[in-house]
Amino acid sequence: MHSPPASIFRFSSTLRAATIAQCHIPDNAVEMLRFPQLQKLELVEAKISEGSLASLITSGCPALESLLLKTCGSFHIRGLRINSPTLKFIGVFSMFVELIIEDAPSLERLLHIILHVKMRLTVISAPKLEMLGYISEYADSKMTFGSTSIQDLRIDSLTTVVRTIKTLAIHSNFNLHMVIDLMRCFPCLENLYMKIPKSTAGVANSWRRKHRDFLTSHDIRLKTIFLGYYQGIRAHVDFVTFFVLNAKALESIRLEVGSRDYNERYFAEQHSVLQMEKRDSRGARLCFKTPCDYDAPHVMHVGDLDSPDPFACGC
């Protein structure tokens, strides 16, 4: 494995964006990596220690705004502590074990780009964090915000709420009760994206009595809901109608359906089944799309981290 290219050092004082790929950055070389103007950094299959990476982010790139980590194979970064006054966007395409946001006053987005792997996230201070995902129900994932703990998308303890999160993307079943608990934790949530496994057997989403207390004590602020692999079975219908009938601010419900159901007859049937004529938000629209081959956030390069909607498929 080779060292970083010489051009990195030659133009280090003026670089605004850089990709460091398939190279070894030894600890004694990190001190030489100084990028005073660098705003966007992409590390692809770069072998670097966790301590050196933290130092590069904190000291080597004082103007850094966007960071994309793409690793696999033998180059896993097992853990990383983030301390950066300038960092706004983080993308992780890696088998991360633990990410600790110690002090990131400018951080707005944290995107986990692989759906089916473990994500351990601890947020100590990120007062502007608005976008988070994908977090999986099935990969032993854990999120901690202060003293609030969420294990596999289930609330272990809810002592404080996180009001900054506006967009949440999850990989989960059609589990309405779990989503309602997440809305208790993130009461200002406006955009919900769910990628759903093809098998949803055994889920029951009856809600008319169970969640009366929630509906009387909480405002549902959701504006956009995207649901992958909607099949129109009872659990799916009950899940969607909860928001159709109770979300006053709702603007758009986007359902991903199989190719055989992508036709006007099915669309009209679902408008009726989902009781769109009784919707609480008169401006809410029901839209349909076919599946996309790419499940995770649409982030291929570091420049994609600040796209208007990284979870929306352009296919």
Both structure tokens of 34: 């100084």
Percent of the chain with pLDDT over 70: 87
**Is the model's pLDDT at 74 over the cut of 50?**
no
Q: Specify the higher pLDDT residue, 223 or 50.
A: 223
Average pLDDT over residues 61-89: 84
Tell me the three state secondary structure of residue 30.
Answer: helix
**Is the model's pLDDT at 314 over the cut of 60?**
no
* pLDDT class of 45 with cuts at 50, 70, 90: confident
**Is the model's pLDDT at 73 over the cut of 60?**
no
* pLDDT class of 12 with cuts at 50, 70, 90: confident
**pLDDT number for residue 57:** 93
User: What digits encode the pLDDT tens for the residues 111-163?
Assistant: 988 777 778 899 999 999 999 988 888 888 899 998 999 999 999 888 889 99
Residue type, 18: A
User: What digits encode the pLDDT tens for the residues 182-227?
Assistant: 999 999 999 999 988 765 555 667 666 667 778 888 889 999 999 9
**Cα gap 298→108, rounded to integer Å:** 17
Q: Specify the higher pLDDT residue, 86 or 228.
A: 86
Both structure tokens of 156: 């272990």
**Is the model's pLDDT at 298 over the cut of 70?**
yes
22: left (phi over 0), alpha (psi -120 to 50) or beta: left
**pLDDT number for residue 183:** 95
Find the range with the poorest average confidence among 7-21, 47-61, 163-177, 194-208: 194-208
The answer to whether 256 touches 289, Cβ cutoff 8 Å, is: yes
